[in-house]
Amino acid sequence: MRIIKAKNYDDMSRKAANIFFSQIIEKPDSVLGLATGSSVLGLYENLIKFYNAGDLDFSGINTVNLDEYVGLSCNNDQSYRYYMDNNLFKHINIKPENTNLPDGLAKDISAECARYNSLIEGFGGADIQLLGLGLNGHVGFNEPDDIFVKETHVVDLDESTIKANSRFFASESDVPKQAVTMGIKNIMQAKKVVLCVSGVKKAKILREVLYGDVTPQVPGSILQFHPDLIVVADEEAII
């Protein structure tokens, strides 16, 4: 595990974006595992800057996102498809057909999980997987549980996650109760993992994730076993 300490959110975003920059330069046909949430927004802004400066070419890139809410259409501004399109994809020269997220509106949601799982398997996992960290230690939407669920699956969101994510919705009751998420094996299969963590609110859980027991009650703790984990965290998040 390598820990890169950043001064603040902007510094974290630049440092993490530089890791993605070298990945794309070194392997222009990389499979990028992507995440949503506020922690990774600054990284995407930096990737767009690199693209606008003519320094990055996304035409050979494929992406697989971690998760999607069940029941939200791609036109809903809280869906993760909408987030990715508007915060990254439509600003760079990635081929839309090369961008992948679970379909939260699929009629047969377990078939959709199987499809998404095979897609990741077909890529042999991501070359690099970006992660944020939930306040309860979740990665993707792998919530605290008695077991680590390996494959892509439907998850009932924790009350604490619904509360935390309600800041993006008009009201708490608008937050979907379920999501489709990559499983722990899908995430651990990535050749490199970059975990971005910012702010004092995440300090306690980050410490548990990195130095506590490896347990499905703290899903991110499994990352201690990843052979190439880079944590990019700002000063407030590191105690």
Rank residues 30 and 65 by Cβ distance to ligand GLP and give the closer one: 65
CB of 54 to ligand GLP, least distance (A): 29
Alpha-carbon distance values, 223 to 51, 84, 176, 180 (Å): 30, 24, 27, 20
Closer to ligand GLP by Cβ: residue 23 or 39: 39
140 binds ligand GLP (CB under 6 A): yes
User: CB neighbours of 234 closer than 8 A, spacing ≥ 6?
Assistant: 5, 6, 7, 8, 9, 11, 12, 197, 198, 199
Phi, psi at residue 64, to the nearest 5°?
-130, 120
- From candidates 134, 176, 183, 220, binder to ligand GLP by CB under 6 A: 134
Nearest to 36 by CA among 196, 223, 209: 196
Structure tokens at 40: 């990774």
Helices (H), 97-144: 109-123
143 is catalytic: yes
Strands annotated E in 144-198? 153-156, 178-181, 192-197
Q: Which is nearer to ligand GLP, 125 or 137 (CB)?
A: 137
Residue with Cβ nearer ligand GLP (31 or 35): 35
Report how many residues bind ligand GLP under the rule CB under 6 A: 14
Catalytic residue of the set 10, 103, 136, 235: 136
Contacts of 72 (CB under 8 A, 6+ apart): 78, 79, 104, 105, 176
Residues 141 to 170: which contact ligand GLP by CB under 6 A?
A: 141, 161, 165
Q: Would you count residue 220 as binding ligand GLP (CB under 6 A)?
A: no
Query: Any catalytic annotation for residue 76?
Result: no
The reply to whether 66 sits near ligand GLP by the rule CB under 6 A is: yes
Q: Which stretch binds ligand GLP (CB under 6 A): 6-14, 50-58, 108-116, 131-139?
A: 131-139
Give the contacts of 211 (CB within 8 A, at least 6 positions apart): none
151 catalytic residue (yes or no): no
Residues between 11 and 50 that touch ligand GLP (CB under 6 A): 35-39
- At its nearest, how many Å lie between ligand GLP and the CB of residue 69? 9
Under 8 Å between Cβ of 199 and 239 = no
- For 109, how many CA atoms within 13 A lie in the half-sphere containing its CB? 14
**Site residues for ligand GLP per CB under 6 A:** 35-39, 66-67, 132-134, 140-141, 161, 165
Q: Which residues are catalytic?
A: 67, 136, 138, 143
